[in-house]
A and B are shown apart, each in its own frame.
Chain A
Amino acid sequence: MSQPQTINLDAVREILSRHKDTKGALITVLQEIQEAYGYLPRPALSEVSAAMGVPLSKIFGVVTFYAQFHLKPRGKHVIRVCLGTACHVRGGERMLEKVGEILGIGPGETTDDQKFTLERVACLGACGLAPALMIGDQTYGRLTGKRVEELIKQYREN
């Protein structure tokens, strides 16, 4: 649990003030908090629990159910390595390993400098470019180990 201890919860309170009395607003609240903080900080969820009367165990259940929610801070660049059928056949797994090796993290993890988050995804819809990955909003295809190295170097520098 190496999360920052001091988080300004003003944004959370503002979001809650708009939604806390609306039945079924939990997911909206979580989405807005994630929008504001980039992830769902624990103190924010405790605040949500107290204000909306939803047990923390339940909120944790909702947050872990949906892939869209993140409990840990995310890197500046999110790398999504495709492991859909086409990419799988053309070495997507090796690309994932390569990225992990360069960054020293596994899927779902973020580098200590908060620069990169690594994720595996089922299909990016870029099968013609397999093996493919995305960094932020950019898609890169026909990858090789060398190309992956270059890409990461390029993103690391800016």
Chain B
Amino acid sequence: MTTVNLWIDGKNVTARQGMTVMEAAEEAGIRIPHLCYHPLLEKTGACRLCVVEIEGARALQSSCTVPVAEGMRVHTMTQRVINARKTVLELLLANHPTECLTCEKAGDCALQDYAYEYNVRSDVYPGKKKEYPLEDNNPFFTRDHNKCIVCGRCIRMCADIQGQYAIDYAYRGFSTRVLTAYDESLVDSPCVFCGNCISVCPVGALTPKWERGKGRKWQYEKVRSVCPYCGVGCQIYLHVKDSKVIGVSAADGPANRGLLCVKGRFGQDFLEHPDRLTKPLIRVDGRFVEAEWEEALSLVAEKLSAIRDKYGPDALGFLSSAKVTNEENYLMQKLARAVFGTNNVDHCARLCHASSVAGLAASFGSGAMTNSIEEIENADVIFVIGSNTKEAHPVIGTYITRAISKGARLIVADPRKTDLAACADVHLQHLPGSDVALLNAMMHVILRDRLHNEDFIRNRTEGFTELKEMLEEYSPEVAEGITGVPADKMEIAARIFATAKKGTILYSMGITQHTTGTDNVMSIANLAMLTGHIGRESTGVNPLRGQNNVQGACDMGALPNVFPGYQRVDDPTARGKFEKAWGRALPDKVGLTVVEMMNAARAGQIRGMFIMGENPMVSDPDISHVKESLEQLEFLVVLDIFPTETAQLAHVVLPAAAYAEKEGTFTNTERRVQRIYRAVPPPGQARPDWLVLCQIAKAAGYEMDYDSPADILAEVATLTPSYGGISYERLDGEGLQWPCPDPGHPGTRYLHKDKFTRGLGRFYPVAFKEPAEWPDKDYPLILSTGRVLYHYHTGSMSRRARALDELVPGGYVEIHPKTAEALGIADGQMVRVETRRGWVDTKARVTDTVSQRVIFMPFHFAEAAANVLTNPALDPVAKIPELKVCAARVTLAGKGDAQ
């Protein structure tokens, strides 16, 4: 790296070539004022506040754009510079309301600070002032064009970083404003309400509504945390005043680098929702009655123990949670295994990435995202299959958009024309459930055209011959008949991916939630190995995990077949190790999965269940069946923060502390273990889940004593090789990516570098199989389900976040215009969607997002629950249900012959 020596204010400064004068000054501890400059954004040099005097230059130079040069002599605070800055500020203040008394931004406003520092008055240039009405037509934030100093930071954030291009400068001169096209409401623009514009606005022009009037910068404390919604693991600051969370801002976490999405920024007020559970509830004569903890805990221990004693340990089932911490998941499976003696412990990973865990473990030896989020930005080809990334993992979506603007090519395979598909070079709009045929056809083309990576295949893999044979029958023409995708599009996609330098594959539930989920995953692994796009920076097979801690819940062994660290329960060595550590004999029989537990409950084999932080009454397939199953139980205890649909069926409901009210760690989708900190106390008598688990264990006669979650993680580290080097002391800030086997290990950015976890990568030839249910005469359409940007999972949190709920208050079904026309359905009409499991009435959204044979429903909404309709048929290996495909029909509500 070439270094450059220069003088700034007489100080000798060494800078790197290519740095700007401002950056060099900043590093040397010399602060230069600025308004339009922001480290995340493109430099424009527009505001002229950062001007400095450079010897030899005639005019003052904007230090944010001038690169350093050898021998340069810079003066940042001469009288000339000060006068220039003063004039800039005077001109800005001439047309800026001095409402600092009531401005939300006071104390955190760059203009206010500089006006103070440079002693600038607002009446130097009296004249016309802007008088625009406050823009208040969306639920999330207001825009005050009068306070706007048109620095353009929000525009650059929206365009260059977020990739939405919702706003730009409009009009000219004095009338210049930052507007959407046609000055329409942000709701009608491409805006996704990430609010990242707010975090770069230097003044009070952009204000989150839910934070207004609650406290200003000097009044609140910022507590670092991790967003509890999706698996990206964005770090946030919770703004805490008087023991309440009054606001949220983005932290510079490794996954989000200062960005957030709408849920992260505007969805945290569920913490304060009046529905929060605050006291234990016990069902007496069909009604919930408030109880003391002591009573509730002994009742739980007593009932669960009685069922175990009467029917045996496998009459109990435990659902752990991808929403709670690693420590709590560890304790839940320990409770199930060591205290009650059953491996019947599972959680909602079963419904999302069980097939990834199974498929990738088979192909590579490790079932997690191989590479890191940040690496996506530097891939030159990104292949996204079955992931609506911009809505379900919005911040990862921004890495894709930025990669595209750096020249990367994007291939999207999705049955829907998602916003991401609209950005793609090639969109393969295949039929739900036809993924294997599509992937096989791409591999067929790669092999036929000899674009495969022979060295990689020879040195790093096994099983290639079998794959090659199997692929012969999957010509693009054959696959066209199965997938509905024109053969030439598959050809193009195959060539783009195979000829990439750094090709990365991202996938999600469009791949996993099938009876062929494991097959789909192994097919993806085949494609990555065939092209050698794995084991290097910015490549890999990357399952984007759904929940904030679904990776961690799996890592912690909240699965029926493995202990923490994926050590098998039927492996005597592993079992011996845990028996020794936990001081109890442990069951060797693999337990039941989520859907199997429901079936067993229905059949009377499971009699008691403990459900922590899960809501199967909305999340699981065939809800009517789930309800019947749960109602059959002799005893159901639910530990949650809200009275969910599932809690309504419980005998005992225990109030839990939410993420902001306790200590712990979450593991995000890129295997990064990050800390959360207690910011506020839990409401009422709610307790952290880990404490409740310890207390139940104790009441059931097993000592589970920990001073804090740090103690629990220390125990985890001794038993889980991949977490061996992870401890609370090491987790402040960036966190650590597993595998991190010992305390000196820096963590692992990407997996399978020189060698796969299992040694050689294994090609499993996978033939196409039809989904369990395919359209027929009675049910002619394919129903697929998924998420929307503004809600999360079963909605228990997001539907209690005021602004999210206001913008998207209910569900709908997407129907293609031609299909709708044939059925006589108009946009917005109530329709009945029916499958062999049941029916729901919901609003029709007529859109060509879906193809003619496909309809789509988001599954967040209990009152129009998509999962009443979905098929509980299971993948034989991973036992994941086929949530993404079933046969359905649609009629106008009230006109069908339902039931």
Question: Chain B contacts of A58 at CB under 8 A?
Answer: 165, 168
B44 to chain A, nearest CB (A): 15
A61 within 8 A of B: yes
Interface residues of B in 105-162 (CB under 8 A from A): 159
Chain B 169-197 near chain A by CB (<8 Å), digits 1 or 0: 11110000001111100000110000000
Question: Chain A contacts of B172 at CB under 8 A?
Answer: 64-67
Question: Chain A contacts of B159 at CB under 8 A?
Answer: 55
Cβ-neighbour of B181 out of A60, A65, A66, A67 (below 8 A): A60
CA A76 to CA B159, docked complex, whole Å: 39
- Do the beta carbons of B168 and A42 come within 8 Å of each other? no
Interface residues of A in 35-83 (CB under 8 A from B): 42, 45, 55-61, 64-67, 71
B167 within 8 A of A: yes
- Do the beta carbons of B168 and A61 come within 8 Å of each other? yes
Nearest chain B residue, comparing its CB with the CB of A60: B181
A58 to chain B, nearest CB (A): 5
- Do the beta carbons of A57 and B171 come within 8 Å of each other? no
- Do the beta carbons of A55 and B168 come within 8 Å of each other? yes
Interface majority SS on B: helix, strand, loop or mixed? Answer: mixed
B166 within 8 A of A: yes
Interface residues of B in 183-235 (CB under 8 A from A): 183, 189-190
- Do the beta carbons of A59 and B181 come within 8 Å of each other? yes
CA A45 to CA B159, docked complex, whole Å: 19
Q: How large is the interface on A (under 10, 10 to 19, 20 to 34, 35 or more residues)?
A: 10 to 19
Question: Chain B contacts of A60 at CB under 8 A?
Answer: 168, 170, 179-183
Question: Chain A contacts of B169 at CB under 8 A?
Answer: 61, 65
CA A58 to CA B189, docked complex, whole Å: 13
Question: Chain A contacts of B165 at CB under 8 A?
Answer: 55-58
Question: Chain B contacts of A55 at CB under 8 A?
Answer: 159, 165, 168, 181, 190
Nearest chain A residue, comparing its CB with the CB of B177: A64
CA A64 to CA B159, docked complex, whole Å: 19
Q: Counting chain A CB atoms within 10 Å of each CB, which of B167, B179, B181 scores highest?
A: B181
Question: Chain A contacts of B189 at CB under 8 A?
Answer: 57
CA A134 to CA B660, docked complex, whole Å: 68
Question: Chain B contacts of A56 at CB under 8 A?
Answer: 165, 181-182
Number of interface residues of B (CB under 8 A): 16
CA A57 to CA B190, docked complex, whole Å: 9
Question: Chain A contacts of B180 at CB under 8 A?
Answer: 57, 60
Question: Chain A contacts of B167 at CB under 8 A?
Answer: 57
B192 to chain A, nearest CB (A): 14
Question: Chain B contacts of A57 at CB under 8 A?
Answer: 165-168, 179-181, 189-190
Question: Chain A contacts of B190 at CB under 8 A?
Answer: 55, 57
CA A146 to CA B385, docked complex, whole Å: 73
- Do the beta carbons of B182 and A42 come within 8 Å of each other? yes
Q: Counting chain A CB atoms within 10 Å of each CB, which of B167, B182, B190 scores highest?
A: B182
B171 to chain A, nearest CB (A): 5
Question: Chain B contacts of A64 at CB under 8 A?
Answer: 170-172
B196 to chain A, nearest CB (A): 16
Question: Chain A contacts of B171 at CB under 8 A?
Answer: 64-65
Question: Chain B contacts of A67 at CB under 8 A?
Answer: 172
A96 to chain B, nearest CB (A): 19
Nearest chain B residue, comparing its CB with the CB of A56: B181
B118 to chain A, nearest CB (A): 31
Q: Counting chain B CB atoms within 10 Å of each CB, which of A1, A42, A56, A66 scores highest?
A: A56
Question: Chain A contacts of B182 at CB under 8 A?
Answer: 1, 42, 56, 60, 71
CA A60 to CA B169, docked complex, whole Å: 9
A106 to chain B, nearest CB (A): 16
B340 to chain A, nearest CB (A): 58
A119 to chain B, nearest CB (A): 15
CA A66 to CA B169, docked complex, whole Å: 12
CA A42 to CA B189, docked complex, whole Å: 14
Q: Counting chain B CB atoms within 10 Å of each CB, which of A42, A45, A64 scores highest?
A: A64
Nearest chain B residue, comparing its CB with the CB of A71: B182
Question: Chain B contacts of A42 at CB under 8 A?
Answer: 182
CA A66 to CA B190, docked complex, whole Å: 24
CA A61 to CA B168, docked complex, whole Å: 6
A97 to chain B, nearest CB (A): 20
A123 to chain B, nearest CB (A): 17
CA A61 to CA B172, docked complex, whole Å: 9
Chain B 651-682 near chain A by CB (<8 Å), digits 1 or 0: 00000000000000000000000000000000
CA A1 to CA B159, docked complex, whole Å: 26
CA A45 to CA B181, docked complex, whole Å: 10
B46 to chain A, nearest CB (A): 15
Question: Chain A contacts of B183 at CB under 8 A?
Answer: 60
Question: Chain A contacts of B168 at CB under 8 A?
Answer: 55, 57-58, 60-61
Question: Chain A contacts of B181 at CB under 8 A?
Answer: 45, 55-57, 59-60
Question: Chain B contacts of A45 at CB under 8 A?
Answer: 181
B744 to chain A, nearest CB (A): 49
Q: Counting chain A CB atoms within 10 Å of each CB, which of B159, B169, B180 scores highest?
A: B169
B168 to chain A, nearest CB (A): 4
Nearest chain A residue, comparing its CB with the CB of B180: A57
Interface residues of B in 669-719 (CB under 8 A from A): none
Chain B 330-344 near chain A by CB (<8 Å), digits 1 or 0: 000000000000000
CA A64 to CA B172, docked complex, whole Å: 7
A47 to chain B, nearest CB (A): 13
Nearest chain B residue, comparing its CB with the CB of A66: B172
CA A56 to CA B164, docked complex, whole Å: 11
A156 to chain B, nearest CB (A): 31
Nearest chain A residue, comparing its CB with the CB of B176: A65
CA A45 to CA B182, docked complex, whole Å: 11
Nearest chain B residue, comparing its CB with the CB of A61: B168
CA A55 to CA B179, docked complex, whole Å: 13
Chain A 89-107 near chain B by CB (<8 Å), digits 1 or 0: 0000000000000000000
CA A57 to CA B189, docked complex, whole Å: 9
B408 to chain A, nearest CB (A): 16
Nearest chain A residue, comparing its CB with the CB of B191: A57
B66 to chain A, nearest CB (A): 26
CA A58 to CA B169, docked complex, whole Å: 8
Chain A 5-43 near chain B by CB (<8 Å), digits 1 or 0: 000000000000000000000000000000000000010
CA A147 to CA B304, docked complex, whole Å: 98
CA A29 to CA B52, docked complex, whole Å: 41
Chain B 726-768 near chain A by CB (<8 Å), digits 1 or 0: 0000000000000000000000000000000000000000000
Question: Chain B contacts of A71 at CB under 8 A?
Answer: 182
Nearest chain A residue, comparing its CB with the CB of B184: A1
Interface residues of B in 815-835 (CB under 8 A from A): none
Question: Chain B contacts of A1 at CB under 8 A?
Answer: 182
Question: Chain B contacts of A59 at CB under 8 A?
Answer: 181
B148 to chain A, nearest CB (A): 15
CA A61 to CA B169, docked complex, whole Å: 5
A124 to chain B, nearest CB (A): 21
Question: Chain A contacts of B179 at CB under 8 A?
Answer: 57, 60-61
B166 to chain A, nearest CB (A): 6
Nearest chain B residue, comparing its CB with the CB of A42: B182
* Chain B residues engaging chain A, CB cutoff 8 angstroms: 159, 165-172, 179-183, 189-190
Given contacts A55-B159, A59-B181, 16 further A-B contacts (CB under 8 A): A45-B181, A55-B168, A56-B165, A57-B165, A57-B168, A57-B179, A60-B168, A60-B170, A60-B180, A60-B181, A60-B182, A60-B183, A64-B170, A64-B172, A65-B170, A66-B172
A sample of 8 inter-chain contacts (CB < 8 A) reads A56-B165, A57-B168, A57-B189, A60-B170, A60-B181, A61-B170, A65-B171, A67-B172
**What are the nearest 7 A-B pairs in CB distance?**
A55-B165, A56-B181, A57-B168, A60-B181, A61-B168, A64-B170, A57-B181
